[in-house]
Every structure is written in structure tokens, then in C-alpha cells.
Chain A
Amino acid sequence: MSEQLLVVRDLATTFHTPSGPLRAVGGVSFDLGQNETLGIVGESGSGKTVLSRTIMGLQPRTNVEVTGSVLVNGFEVVGASERDKRAIWGLQVAMVFQDPMTSLNPVMRVGKQIDEILRVRLGLDRRAARDRAIELLELVGIPSPAERYDVYPGELSGGMRQRVVIATALAGSPQLLLADEPTTGLDVTIQAQILNLLDRLKERLHMSVVLVTHDLGVVATRSSRIIVMYAGRIVEIGSTRDVFARHRMPYTRALLEGSPKISNPSHTRLKAIPGRPPNLADLPGGCAFAPRCSFATDRCREERPELEPAGEVGHAFACWHPLPLVQKVLA
């Protein structure tokens, strides 16, 4: 089935702040099919969180302007009314946020929070909803689900809470799951558990997942395609292999080289990118990465490069002086 689950075209989100308009996301386009995992990678200020929330339709109406199109299973999210959006929220597309402690209501029992969507949206009666909720808790790997049904979020550990959040998100059997930094802040071993869980669930429930993170390691082994964002735009998009081994955009290389690796010996000098992520309210003309790029030329500073295809299918980058094709760079 090649019908695309998620189609994003020229999506742009602008915040109208007291000090002027701020373009958090500018001109993003991509597709996502069934059973695919897409990783969206970027640092703070890259716009990745704003992007995921815009796709979900969570941007408020005041002071925020969203242009472009987001089609979730054919339904246009941009410009849709709250009522229409609510029809797809939870049932076709669900979202998992970063901090499980604030995503769950601390004064409501865990089971009840999952129940809500089952009873209100799917119309199950109390008994059926409870059974299904316990099923979901088991599905996400919570031991003794029947007992855990009655606990409060505060009584659970961070990893458990995140599992509950995932269970809540899956209650309506959505086809698309947006996960915004779902494992940031969790312990490494718990991170691995949660990511494996998401993998398993994806297979079992035939879902597609959009994984938003700043951690390249998270997407390296778990997504089929990756989008690299910088200053609100896509600077590179392609299959995971292409982005890691055959990237063309210098920022992607800098990201890969800048993080310390376990496989490197101790005291390896890191190739740090000078400067810091740009101020979105004050973007330079031309390529946003130019001030920090070692290959920047005058053209880079004046004209902003558009995405152009690389050799491989589905691989595109935005750079006037792309890196030459090399073999795998990772040492």
C-alpha cells in the first residue's frame, strides 16, 4: 500500500511576538507512509518540537500563524476547527510528549486516564473500558497491570510513567504516533526499553511513528528515514543509511562528528561546531548555518539553498557546497 499516511507540504509556523514575527518552522515538506518510522533530528531552536506540534494541530490560534498543508489520512489539519481536529486526535493520530510527569494528571489514577478516551471517544462501558485499559497496560509492558490500574502517576517510576503515557496514546488505536523526545531524561537502560517497546508496538499495531529527538543515537537504529532540521528548515532528508553514511550537508557531518562516541578512545578531541544555534528572530540572509560552517562562501551568506536531490532515491539536501560523496565517515 503506497498511500501516504502523512503528507506535509510547505508547512510554516510563525509566532507573532511583541518583538516581531518569528518563523519557527519554514517551508517543510515530506511524506510518511504506513509502517514507517521517521526520525526528526535537530538541536534546540531547530524547530523540531514546533513542527511536531504543528503537525498535530496543537498550535493555538492567537499570535500563531500556520501556513501550508498537513494531511493526516487525507484530513487537512491546518486551518481545521478544534472540533474537527478532536475527531482525529487519539483515534487517527496520537502524540507522546517529553516529560511523563507533566503529561499525566497527577491526581487521577492511571487506569482512569486511559479509560477516559475509551469511554468518551469509543463509547465502551465501564467494564469493557477497564478490561481494555488493563490490556493496554500489559501491552506496554507494565507488570501486574490489574494492580497498577489503580495507582497514581506519582507512585510510578519515570520509565513506567512513560509507558502509561504510551498506553494512553494507543488507546484509540491510532495509525500515526508522534513522539516528541519520548526518552529524553530517562535512564539509558530505560530508554532502551522504551524504544524497543515502541518498535514492537509499531510492528504489532501497524503504526507509523515520527520520532523527534536531538539524539542521533536514538534514530540511528530505529528509523528508516531521517530529517535533519536547522533553524526551522529541513537541511537534509533521506534514508537512515544515506544520512549517516552519505550525508552531503556539512551540518549533518558536524552533528555526527560533534558528539562523543563510545567507540572512540578516551580523550578524543571533539570537532566542535563554533558558535551556537541561531536566533530565529534575527536570521541571517542566506543559509542559516553559514555563520558556523567551515565551507561557507559568499553565495551561502546571500542565497538560501533549497532542497535538491542527491544521487539516492529519497535523499535530498540543502547546500550550495555539499560534501563530496565519501564512504562511511564514522571512525
Chain B
Amino acid sequence: MSDTAPLLRVRDLTVTYGTHRRKLSAVAGVSFEIREGETLGLVGESGCGKSTTGRALMRIVEPSAGSIELEGTELTTTTGKELRQLRTRMQMIFQDPISSLNPRRRVRDIVAEPLDCWRRAEGVERTTIVNNLLGKVGIDPDVYGDRYPRQFSGGQCQRISIARSLAMRPKLLICDEMVSALDVSVQAQILNLLEDLKAEYGLTLLFIAHDLAVVKNVSDRVAVMYLGKICEIGPADTLYESPEHPYTSFLLGAALEADPDSPVRGEVLAGEPPSPLRPPSGCRFRTRCPNATAKCANEEPPLVEVAPAHSVACHYPLSTLARR
């Protein structure tokens, strides 16, 4: 691990919707860092705030508090043209491949859109860049360049989105559930493509998804979110092998492996997640946690490092318990 400053540093990011009466804390004080060239996976169930976090980073959704530093520049305080310019250094790929593309424009123009917007390239240069990008994502520019999005499948549309996002050579790519809407066989293609492009373009990725296996496959480190907070963050292999937070353990237990002989893992997490309008006091997971004590209700556990690069927000991390 190099000592250089991280590419992205997020501190106490908070996104709150609503008025004084009914506050919905979608993201409640999330902090993490991503180093250049790293892939951080952000995983959690619906309502945990992972998508909101991604959107807050792009300032599609306004952060209510906290700081976001991209290569040292503070993003939360930039506005107007400067913000728009900064945005080109981070790009985002969305979940729905079809709706991510303007149905009335040709694929060629969609991919060139960022270049046109910033007048980076014209004429022959523009065409070369576009053809190059399309080729890199496996779409033949001569055959498909002049077609419209409706003539493509979901997987192909997602490739086009990827090509578009690379046009400005961003440093950070945020993938918001980008393979969730695709078939299994197509998912694998896109994930492989992503790895290849990451190596070639020197990208740093924030991969947001709810599928644990997909996230593990793609990420170096993984952060698990629950109800707006990060419960655990650590290297992918160790986090999955020996989770420290009970919620992570339940998540892994519930994941369905395509293996009839996989051991039936422990108990299933009971109940439903509490409403984000009235999150439980102290540790937000305590209402469903079998290990919860009074301390969990009174004191919110801070994110503490329990192993190198592995932090957990829990008063009783699993490795410290007698069980296991």
C-alpha cells in the first residue's frame, strides 16, 4: 500500500431528506477512502443508502453534510462551471441500460457527447476517438455506429454507456448496480470487460451492488452498508471469509450459492429493516442482532480497525466472541 494520498476521500458524508418533522437519513455519516487503481465494492440491501452515496459523490443528490475530496479538491463546495468540469473526472454508469441512452441519438453521437459538450475534439479526431472506444467495448463502430439504442440489447447498451463514460478519461468510475438488470451470461461478459478496461485505462472504481458474489468478484475492498451507515469495510477475501460484523455474516449466510452441497449456513436474519425515518438509537442493527446488549442501544459503535485495513462498527465484533 503506497503512502500517497487517496484518490477519493469521503468523510462523514450525510444525506438527509425531508423537513424537521420527518427526516429521512438516507446516508448518515459515511467515511471511506479509495486509492488510485483500487476497486471498492459497496454492498447492502435496499434502503441502506449505497446508491444515494454514489449519487451524492456525483452531486446528483446534494450532500447535507460531510466532505468529498477528489484528488485533493473539495467537491461539496464547488458550484457552477467548476463543478461541471470536475464532474468529468468522475463518471457514473447506471442500472437501467436502455434508459441510460438518449433514444433519439445515434450510438456514435451518444459516445461522443462528452467530447461535444466540452469541445474536446472535432472532425476526424472525434471520429477516431469514438471508433476506438466502441471497439474497446466490443461494438463494431462500422456496423453499429449509426444505429439507435432501441436496436441493441441490454448488455450492448451497457457497453455503450461504458464507452461514453470513458470518453473524457475519468479517474473514478462509479458503477451503480450496473449489471443488476442483465442476464447471467451477459453479466459475466460485462464484468470481464470492466476488469480489462480498468487495467487499460487505469481506472479507480466504486462498485455499488446488492449481489455479494458479483461485488466480491470485482472488488479489492468491500464496504457493507446498513441503514445509512457503514458496518464493515475490509479486503474482499478476508471480509467474506471471516466477517466481523453480525450483519455481514447474515448477508453472507443468506446468499444463495449455486452449489447443492454448500453448507446450509446458520440462522436466517429475521424481521424487516427498520424505517429510515426512525432509525434505532445507538447501533442501527441492534433490533435484529442476536448479540445486542444495552450498550448497543445507548452507544453508537464507531468504525474501528480490528485488523490491517479491516474496520468494523460493532461493540462485539465476531472474532472477539467466544462463539465460532
A and B directly contacting (CB within 8 A): yes
B-binding residues in A (CB < 8 A): 43-44, 157-160, 187-193, 195-196, 214-218, 220-221, 240-241, 244-245, 254-256, 258-274, 276-277, 328, 330
Which among A192, A220, A221, A330 is the interface contact of B268 at CB below 8 angstroms? A192
Whether, in the assembled complex, B88 has its beta carbon less than 8 Å from a beta carbon of chain A, the answer is no
Closest to A259 in B: B184
In the assembled complex, the Cα of A271 lies from the Cα of B187 at a distance in Å of 11
Given A259-B184, A259-B213, also A221-B255 (CB < 8 A): no
In the assembled complex, the Cα of A259 lies from the Cα of B182 at a distance in Å of 12
- Cβ < 8 Å to A, chain B residues 152-169: 153, 155
Cβ-defined contact, B195 with A276, below 8 A: no
Whole-angstrom distance from the CB of B140 to the nearest CB of chain A? 14
Q: How many residues of B contact A (CB 8 A)?
A: 46
Among the listed stretches B60-68, B103-111, B216-224, B293-301, which one makes contact with chain A, having 4 or more residues with CB under 8 Å of it?
Answer: B216-224
Knowing that A160-B272, A188-B255, A266-B216 touch, tell me 18 more A-B residue pairs with CB under 8 angstroms: A43-B183, A43-B184, A215-B256, A216-B184, A220-B260, A241-B260, A258-B188, A262-B212, A262-B240, A262-B255, A263-B259, A264-B217, A265-B237, A270-B217, A272-B185, A276-B153, A276-B183, A276-B186
Which among A220, A267, A328 is the interface contact of B256 at CB below 8 angstroms? A220
Which among B184, B220, B240, B256 is the interface contact of A258 at CB below 8 angstroms? B184
Given A188-B45, A220-B262, A268-B217, also A259-B188 (CB < 8 A): yes
Cβ-defined contact, B250 with A214, below 8 A: no
Whole-angstrom distance from the CB of A212 to the nearest CB of chain B? 15
Which among A191, A193, A258, A262 is the interface contact of B185 at CB below 8 angstroms? A258
Closest to A292 in B: B185
Cβ-defined contact, B192 with A270, below 8 A: yes
In the assembled complex, the Cα of A36 lies from the Cα of B273 at a distance in Å of 33
Whole-angstrom distance from the CB of A230 to the nearest CB of chain B? 10
In the assembled complex, the Cα of A44 lies from the Cα of B191 at a distance in Å of 19
Whether, in the assembled complex, B102 has its beta carbon less than 8 Å from a beta carbon of chain A, the answer is no
In the bound complex, residues from chain B placing their C-beta under 8 Å from that of A272 are: 185, 188-189, 191-192
In the assembled complex, the Cα of A265 lies from the Cα of B218 at a distance in Å of 10
Whole-angstrom distance from the CB of A103 to the nearest CB of chain B? 18
Closest to B47 in A: A187
Cβ-defined contact, A259 with B187, below 8 A: yes
Cβ-defined contact, B46 with A221, below 8 A: no
Which among A160, A189, A244, A261 is the interface contact of B250 at CB below 8 angstroms? A189
Cβ-defined contact, A270 with B191, below 8 A: yes
Closest to A251 in B: B185
Closest to B221 in A: A266
14 interchain pairs, CB-CB under 8 A: A157-B273, A160-B272, A187-B46, A190-B45, A193-B270, A220-B262, A262-B252, A263-B262, A264-B217, A266-B216, A267-B217, A272-B185, A272-B188, A330-B259
Cβ-defined contact, B260 with A188, below 8 A: no
Which among A160, A260, A276 is the interface contact of B191 at CB below 8 angstroms? A260
In the assembled complex, the Cα of A43 lies from the Cα of B182 at a distance in Å of 10
Whole-angstrom distance from the CB of A121 to the nearest CB of chain B? 31
Cβ-defined contact, A262 with B251, below 8 A: no
Given A187-B46, A196-B268, A220-B262, also A254-B185 (CB < 8 A): yes
In the assembled complex, the Cα of A200 lies from the Cα of B257 at a distance in Å of 20
Interface SS, A side:
loop
Cβ-defined contact, A214 with B184, below 8 A: yes
In the bound complex, residues from chain B placing their C-beta under 8 Å from that of A271 are: 188
Whether, in the assembled complex, B7 has its beta carbon less than 8 Å from a beta carbon of chain A, the answer is no
Whole-angstrom distance from the CB of A19 to the nearest CB of chain B? 15
- Interface mask (B173-201 → A, CB under 8 Å = 1, otherwise 0): 00000000001111111011001000000
Closest to A241 in B: B260
Which among B153, B183, B212, B264 is the interface contact of A188 at CB below 8 angstroms? B212
Which among A158, A188, A220, A255 is the interface contact of B184 at CB below 8 angstroms? A255
Whether, in the assembled complex, B139 has its beta carbon less than 8 Å from a beta carbon of chain A, the answer is no
Whole-angstrom distance from the CB of B301 to the nearest CB of chain A? 21
Cβ-defined contact, A266 with B219, below 8 A: yes
In the assembled complex, the Cα of A268 lies from the Cα of B191 at a distance in Å of 10
In the bound complex, residues from chain B placing their C-beta under 8 Å from that of A270 are: 188, 191-192, 217
In the bound complex, residues from chain A placing their C-beta under 8 Å from that of B183 are: 43-44, 214, 276-277
Cβ-defined contact, B258 with A259, below 8 A: yes
A-B CB proximity, top 7 nearest: A217-B256, A272-B188, A260-B217, A216-B258, A192-B254, A187-B45, A266-B236
In the assembled complex, the Cα of A330 lies from the Cα of B257 at a distance in Å of 11
Whole-angstrom distance from the CB of A130 to the nearest CB of chain B? 25
Cβ-defined contact, A220 with B185, below 8 A: no
Cβ-defined contact, B257 with A220, below 8 A: yes
Whole-angstrom distance from the CB of A275 to the nearest CB of chain B? 8
Whether, in the assembled complex, B129 has its beta carbon less than 8 Å from a beta carbon of chain A, the answer is no
Whole-angstrom distance from the CB of A293 to the nearest CB of chain B? 12
Whether, in the assembled complex, B318 has its beta carbon less than 8 Å from a beta carbon of chain A, the answer is no
In the bound complex, residues from chain B placing their C-beta under 8 Å from that of A220 are: 256-260, 262
- Interface mask (B48-66 → A, CB under 8 Å = 1, otherwise 0): 0000000000000000000
In the assembled complex, the Cα of A158 lies from the Cα of B220 at a distance in Å of 31
In the bound complex, residues from chain B placing their C-beta under 8 Å from that of A274 are: 189
Cβ-defined contact, B210 with A269, below 8 A: no
In the bound complex, residues from chain A placing their C-beta under 8 Å from that of B216 are: 260, 262, 264, 266
- Interface mask (B229-247 → A, CB under 8 Å = 1, otherwise 0): 0000000110010000000
